[in-house]
Structure 1
Amino acid sequence: MPALVTRAASSVARPSELAPAAGRPAGHTGFLPEVHLLRALAIVLVVAYHAGVLRGGFVGVDVFFVVSGYLMTAQLVARAGDGRVGLAAFYARRAARLLPAALAVVVATALVGSFLLPVTQRAGLTDDARASTLFAENWLLAARQTDYLADGLAASPFQHFWSLAVEEQFYLIWPVVIAVCLAAGRRRGTRSVRVGVLVVLVVSFAVCLVWGRTGSPAIYEATPTRAWELAAGGLVAVLPCQTNCSTWERLRRGLVWSGLSVVALVAVMFDGSGGYPDARALLLIAGACAVTLAARPNSTTAPARLAVRQPVRWLGDASYSLYLWHWPTLVLLAGAGGAGSGVGRRALAVALAVGIAAVSRRWIEIPALAYGRARRPASVGVVTCAALIMTLAVAGLPREVSDHDLASQREASVALLAAAPARLGAASITDSGWRTYSEGSAIAPVPADARSDVPARAATCKAPASSSKTPRCVFGDPDATTTVALVGDSHMEQYVPAFEVLARQHRWRVTTYLHSSCPFSLAERTSDRDRGGPCLRANAATLAEVGSDPSIDVVVTSGRSAVPWVEDGSAPDPVRGLVDVWRELAKKAPVVAIRDNPLSMPGDATQACVADHLRDPDHCDRTLAAALPYDPQTAAAALVPGLHLLDLTDAFCANGTCPAVVGNVLVNRDEQHLTATYARTLAPRIGPTIEDVLADGR
């Protein structure tokens, strides 16, 4: 999360070394204790959020943005007395201030993560490390549609670099904006800068509000939606100076207390629901701006006195290093984000991060800053380029280690499938239960390949959710006298590999009608209504097409039913929607409904867990109560005479447990769907039911 905690070049001085000032002129760059306290508060909030202690602590990033925007603008204006900003010197100072510690984190995390993280995460770790090195992590997360406020499991240890990326991208543009404003209004001083900053603030905030309406999670880490927070701090830096009259002094003290209180209150009350940032962030930004506006060198307010005492002073000084190190330490030591691990491990991770941050500040940050001051911009630039190249090279290590491990796992998986295909997966289940490993200790597919272990026709024979037409595809024996129709969404599609086996064994022709996110029902999902109802239109057309095909001997259907449905009376409820479809189909051919399968852990968590516990994947099992969703298909089946309900739960769960691996086969490729490998092993369990139904129909 955030945090560039940049300080003005002179802000490393002790308060006693700075001359007192009656008021703070625009562009002041001295040590401001209230701002220092605000920075210390921000890092505490962020660490508490990542450690799973404070749900609203993520707003500490917003506070960092305000502080960074303020300090950067103050530096630029203070150094532009002659109308020149000095871009080369500015960028050299920024590189010396920010890059050494950041690159040290990238290198250390890439090295440690190459061996501690599951193989499923290592290849992605290289992408994150390189994006972080180039300060582009926010756009990588946006491209992945990462929901920063929801993700935790299998989170990248580089994920927090998104805020550094936002700030660095802002730093590339902001000095130019200030320079242009100063050049355009030489006679007006900082007035032209105020106008320019205000324009950036308003435009960015408007982009934030408009983008927020799309519901895209990328709004959280996108630079255009965050620039207004940095600009807000910049605006405070160029406001006219205030007098030292008693009225302003009382108002100043009130601003400090009220601003700090607002920041703390928002952190306690916010939970990130409903999309963020949005208009709610205005209150937080106003609070942070109030503190920076009221800050004064050598201030005697109670917050100012607190800011120069330990450990608050150290927290403010080391906030950048602590921000850099705390998140990878939590991910690598305490598990994804720390929230899923014990309190003890989270506390240990935070304590370790504090220690590493102290070392980093003493031996990396401070020496690098001194080096940057003593060298010309060109020299700093050469060293910076060399450091970036070396870091990018090290960032490739996780992928190399991952590729080596994956090659070994894939070789073992191929050998396993070739040696004992009839004894794997569901075929290994007996009356006494299931075994994790029935043949050696290899797993098929390897966890890193689970996502790609899909039915062979997945890309060509399934309509997208937005389509109002469901495609018809055919496979199997073209001369067959028996035709089986498979109708439904991706939860029906996942059984296609089993029907490919059955079609070869029994010389069937199989016709598919598959539609993503579209259960075969006349009830309406809320997501489909939001899209304008393409699923309902497609289902009506499919019902007519299947019902008019005399060659179909049996219809097999299944779907994901544990989803939000429209239940305002304008459409049938979930059970009635299924009943209406099945009764209509039953007039033409027998119908078999397959009960929905149990769910694994959210996202790719199960695959990551298995990759991390190859010797004992039982760590990744779920209880039956947690895994088996409510399925209206079971209730609907009782209302349709002659319908056959095929319940395969005993092929996934036994004795109240749903294992992640059965008979050397990984069951799920994601939270909802089976791997194609496991689906093939279900053919002996599905075939007899279909044969019995066909026999009764004849």
Structure 2
Amino acid sequence: MRLTNATTPAKTSADAAARIAPERDPETVQIQRIGRRDQENQQPTSARPSHWRPDIEGLRALAVGVVIAAHIGFPYMAGGFVGVDVFFVISGFLITSLLLREIDKTGTVSIAGFYARRAVRLLPAAATVLLATLVASWIWLPRTRLGDISADAATAALNVINIRLAQEGTDYLNATVDPSPLQHFWSLAVEEQFYIVWPLVLLAIAFLGTKFGRPGKFTAARHRHRGPGRTAAITAFLVIAAGVSFWMSASWTQSDPVWSYFGIHTRAWELAVGALIAVAAGSIRAFAPKWAAALASWAGLALITASVFLLDERTVFPGTAALLPVAGTALVIAAGCAPHRFGATMLLGVRPAQFIGKISYGLYLWHWPLIMIGPAVWGLDDVRVRHYLVLMGVAFLLTIATFYLVENPIRTRRPLVQVPSRALAMGGGLIATALAASLFMAAQPLPEQSNEEAAEITGNDTTVWELLGESSDVNTVPANLTPTLDGAADDVPALNDDGCQVDRDDPDINKDCWYGDPEGDKTVVLYGDSHAGQWFPALRQTAEASGWRLLVMTKANCSVADVREHDSVLGREYTECREWKDDVIDYLGEVEPDVVVAAAFDKKDVIADDPDKAWIDGWVDTVDRLQDVAGEVYYMADNPDIGEDVPGCLAENPHDASVCVGDLEDSVVEPERREQLIEAVTDAGANVVDSTPWICDVDQGTCPVVVGNLLVYRDGNHLSARFVAELAPQIAAAIPLEVQPTER
């Protein structure tokens, strides 16, 4: 995102304007220089503002401030993520103002010059933060995360990280992974994608105008290169683009929230709104009453403020909700085209806001890596707002250092500013450096594990049980650990690759997920979310050995209980889950299974006045419905949740694995409610299976993470598929399936 501006008006002479003074943005200087020449030549005012805009600088300060407040969990400011939308509108306005002035002056757009200015202004600070974040991640974050963070850095350098995050965000297997310390680069990627397309569009309009158009009859000579026809074409394009993009945002955010949040297709309208104001700026300045502009500026500021306090993580966003901050920003910027001394600039123009606005780009870049890596550097497990405030102080100091040592010296260096090829070469070099660092980091091996190999668990029905009691004291990660630490995240049940765990945004059931003995006369169903699906390797073995068919009905993050849920990834009520569950019950009525095994993660965001009661009642209702369509119903109580990424912890402590061992008392999710639920479903007629003794040492009160040569957890709460496969004897004993004759 573009967060630049000048600090003081330029001098009046053309020579002084041509020199870019320290702490000034070349683009702003160019805008002001052309505007001054308009005045000196007594030409009609250009269609864009030609004066210094302290209101925009103040808006930048407001935007970065509310973004940081939301990210550190500042009370009542959960909607601070709208600061990004404020930046989008500002960027659309300033970039379009610059490009239109260039068309007015030359009749065309210098693509090389434009991209050179982008490179000089944005890349040095961005590359500095990228490289520093990679180094800090390598030093302080679990080595198991380096591959993903390196990929994030590479895509950030190429300005496509928003696409990567959208793809990763829709992958349920990544739901428990901490956010990337480079995640905030998504908004910069969106803007850069806009910067790639928009100058080319304007260049095409300018070319067509030159080839087919004529200067307007009343067009001033100074603006003969952009007559009414070109202005109308630019306006029409922006209106159509904004309309289509807004329609996509309003229509698709509900059903596809991740792609809608990160995608250029649903954000382009916000940039287009800023661009439209740039096109209309001259008319606003000429015809808008200043008193009305002053009122509009305060109204806009009120809308932005209201959005910060009224919106939160449960808001479907962007969608139509983004209208609030976008409209507010548009009002402030448009009003600033006809400034009044009693307008919102009275507040936005105060000196502290101007300084924060000046350095806001660097502050935005630095704040998120400090939030994500700072607690690890500090050694904090329980991070509070006060800790984040200290980290933001560090981010502020790093921002100032970056501004005065990196940003300003480079963007004011005349050989770079005046020769586009040099600026582009510098930008290419910085991108190449970031890519090389990403590849180097991705190639770094995990810390060496013990050279000793642990006893392999080979399927003996007592092996896991026998080793469980002594596994909490394991000191070193064995050399033959299965799965490996860097491969743990991919150690998922085969049903995932078969498409038998339905995605969040898909309400349809998959009727093709049959396993076990295809000729079997009896059917067992595995039903639930990923915490049900994790038992697939063991239940599949049991079904095959008993001659049963196995039907899998699982859906990402969808509980079995008949409750209303809020999904944090979708950012709204999980309506697809309710629809899917109803269809599953109907389908099971056709299948008439002999046994249904139901399980779900106990950490659900239930929408109810009394979530605990609703959760228990919902499970009882589901058990009743299942008993109407199945012979027997088994409820598998949820497994313990370690609470942190186990492979990452082991990678950080390869010679002291006991550090990662979970405490049983702390690992059981909602223990009191869990006991009440077990009692309730038992009374409803379900058979209860508690897997805790298979995973944790209940006598010692510990939950080991390495048993023999097996890694127990692939993240913080999902069991590894390899470990579950070795629990087939326990599953067979707890859920006895009658052995079917081999000849029929």
TM bracket (short chain): 0.7 to 0.9
RMSD: 4.6
Counterpart of 1:678 in structure 2 is 723
1:42 aligns with 2:63: yes
Taking structure 1 as reference, are residues 37 and 463 closer, same or farther at Cα in structure 2, changes over 3 Å only?
Answer: closer
Taking structure 1 as reference, are residues 628 and 539 closer, same or farther at Cα in structure 2, changes over 3 Å only?
Answer: farther
Residue 551 of structure 2: which of 513, 527, 532 is its match? 513
Question: Which amino acid is the alignment partner of residue 579 of structure 2?
Answer: D
Question: Which amino acid is the alignment partner of residue 358 of structure 2?
Answer: D
Q: Is the 8 A contact 1:69 1:232 kept in 2?
A: yes
Taking structure 1 as reference, are residues 645 and 532 closer, same or farther at Cα in structure 2, changes over 3 Å only?
Answer: closer
Counterpart of 1:436 in structure 2 is 472
Deviations 1:533-575 (A, max 9, x none): 54234322432xx55xxxxxxx5734338679999xxxx9743
1:494 aligns with 2:534: yes
Counterpart of 1:110 in structure 2 is 134
Deviations 1:54-105 (A, max 9, x none): 2111101111111111111111111222321222211111111111111111
Q: Please list, as runs of the form range in 1=range in 2, the aligned pairs for 1:240-251 lying within 5 A after superposition.
A: 240-241=281-282, 248-251=289-292
Counterpart of 2:280 in structure 1 is 239
**Aligned to 1:311, what secondary structure does the other structure show?**
helix
Residue 490 of structure 2: which of 428, 433, 452 is its match? 452
Taking structure 1 as reference, are residues 468 and 286 closer, same or farther at Cα in structure 2, changes over 3 Å only?
Answer: closer
The more displaced of 241-250 and 200-209 is: 241-250
Q: Is the 8 A contact 2:238 2:272 kept in 1?
A: yes
Post-superposition offset of 1:33:
0.9
Task: Give the distance between the partners of 1:339 and 1:211, measured in 2 at CA.
Answer: 38
Task: Give the distance between the partners of 2:511 and 2:58, measured in 1 at CA.
Answer: 60
Counterpart of 2:81 in structure 1 is 58
Taking structure 1 as reference, are residues 566 and 136 closer, same or farther at Cα in structure 2, changes over 3 Å only?
Answer: closer
Question: Which amino acid is the alignment partner of residue 648 of structure 1?
Answer: S
Task: Give the distance between the partners of 1:463 and 1:33, measured in 2 at CA.
Answer: 53
Counterpart of 2:116 in structure 1 is 92
**Aligned to 2:446, what secondary structure does the other structure show?**
helix
**Aligned to 2:289, what secondary structure does the other structure show?**
helix
Q: Is the 8 A contact 1:27 1:237 kept in 2?
A: yes
Question: Which amino acid is the alignment partner of residue 137 of structure 1?
Answer: I
Residue 133 of structure 1: which of 157, 161, 164 is its match? 157
1:9 aligns with 2:26: yes
Deviations 1:256-276 (A, max 9, x none): 222222211211211142421
Q: Is the 8 A contact 1:49 1:55 kept in 2?
A: yes
TM-score by structure 1 length? 0.80
Taking structure 1 as reference, are residues 412 and 155 closer, same or farther at Cα in structure 2, changes over 3 Å only?
Answer: farther
Q: Please list, as runs of the form range in 1=range in 2, the aligned pairs for 1:271-310 lying within 5 A after superposition.
A: 271-295=312-336, 300-301=341-342, 303-304=344-345, 307=348, 309-310=350-351
Residue 226 of structure 1: which of 255, 263, 267 is its match? 267
Counterpart of 2:397 in structure 1 is 355
Q: What stretches of structure 1 of length at least 5 have no aligned partner?
A: 548-554
Counterpart of 1:143 in structure 2 is 167
Q: Is the 8 A contact 2:293 2:339 kept in 1?
A: no
Counterpart of 2:424 in structure 1 is 381
Task: Give the distance between the partners of 1:340 and 1:26, measured in 2 at CA.
Answer: 53
Deviations 1:596-652 (A, max 9, x none): 2235278x8555455556631147874424378759675344344xx7533333444
Task: Give the distance between the partners of 1:626 and 1:459, measured in 2 at CA.
Answer: 31
Task: Give the distance between the partners of 1:497 and 1:462, measured in 2 at CA.
Answer: 13
Counterpart of 1:416 in structure 2 is 454
Counterpart of 2:107 in structure 1 is 83
Q: Is the 8 A contact 1:625 1:656 kept in 2?
A: no
Question: Which amino acid is the alignment partner of residue 159 of structure 2?
Answer: F
Q: Is the 8 A contact 1:426 1:682 kept in 2?
A: no
Q: What stretches of structure 2 of length at least 5 have no aligned partner?
A: 7-24, 217-226, 565-574, 609-616, 740-744
Question: Which amino acid is the alignment partner of residue 104 of structure 1?
Answer: T
Deviations 1:431-460 (A, max 9, x none): xxx852347444654454333333467645
Task: Give the distance between the partners of 2:361 and 2:279, measured in 1 at CA.
Answer: 24
1:168 aligns with 2:206: no
Task: Give the distance between the partners of 1:48 and 1:565, measured in 2 at CA.
Answer: 26
Deviations 1:301-347 (A, max 9, x none): 475455554322211111111111111122111369x9962234312
The more displaced of 464-473 and 261-270 is: 464-473
Task: Give the distance between the partners of 2:311 and 2:110, measured in 1 at CA.
Answer: 40
Taking structure 1 as reference, are residues 67 and 629 closer, same or farther at Cα in structure 2, changes over 3 Å only?
Answer: same
Query: How many pairs are equivalent?
Result: 658
1:638 aligns with 2:659: no
Post-superposition offset of 1:668:
3.5
The more displaced of 525-534 and 214-223 is: 525-534
Residue 648 of structure 1: which of 663, 670, 691 is its match? 691
Taking structure 1 as reference, are residues 355 and 13 closer, same or farther at Cα in structure 2, changes over 3 Å only?
Answer: farther
Deviations 1:567-595 (A, max 9, x none): 9xxxx974355346557755xxxx57252
The more displaced of 610-619 and 97-106 is: 610-619
Question: Which amino acid is the alignment partner of residue 9 of structure 1?
Answer: P
Task: Give the distance between the partners of 1:99 and 1:30, measured in 2 at CA.
Answer: 26
Q: Is the 8 A contact 1:34 1:303 kept in 2?
A: yes
Task: Give the distance between the partners of 1:456 and 1:292, measured in 2 at CA.
Answer: 54
1:539 aligns with 2:595: no
Counterpart of 2:599 in structure 1 is 559
Residue 578 of structure 1: which of 612, 623, 628 is its match? 623
The more displaced of 167-176 and 47-56 is: 47-56
Q: Is the 8 A contact 2:120 2:411 kept in 1?
A: yes
**Aligned to 1:396, what secondary structure does the other structure show?**
helix
Sequence identity percentage: 26
Task: Give the distance between the partners of 1:656 and 1:238, measured in 2 at CA.
Answer: 71
Post-superposition offset of 1:352:
0.9
**Aligned to 2:314, what secondary structure does the other structure show?**
coil
Q: Please list, as runs of the form range in 1=range in 2, the aligned pairs for 1:19-38 lying within 5 A after superposition.
A: 25-38=46-59
1:120 aligns with 2:163: no
Task: Give the distance between the partners of 2:492 and 2:27, measured in 1 at CA.
Answer: 59
**Aligned to 2:265, what secondary structure does the other structure show?**
helix
Residue 178 of structure 2: which of 137, 154, 159 is its match? 154
Counterpart of 2:9 in structure 1 is none
Task: Give the distance between the partners of 1:453 and 1:246, measured in 2 at CA.
Answer: 66
Q: Is the 8 A contact 2:663 2:702 kept in 1?
A: no
Q: Is the 8 A contact 1:593 1:645 kept in 2?
A: yes
1:315 aligns with 2:356: yes
Q: Is the 8 A contact 2:468 2:704 kept in 1?
A: no
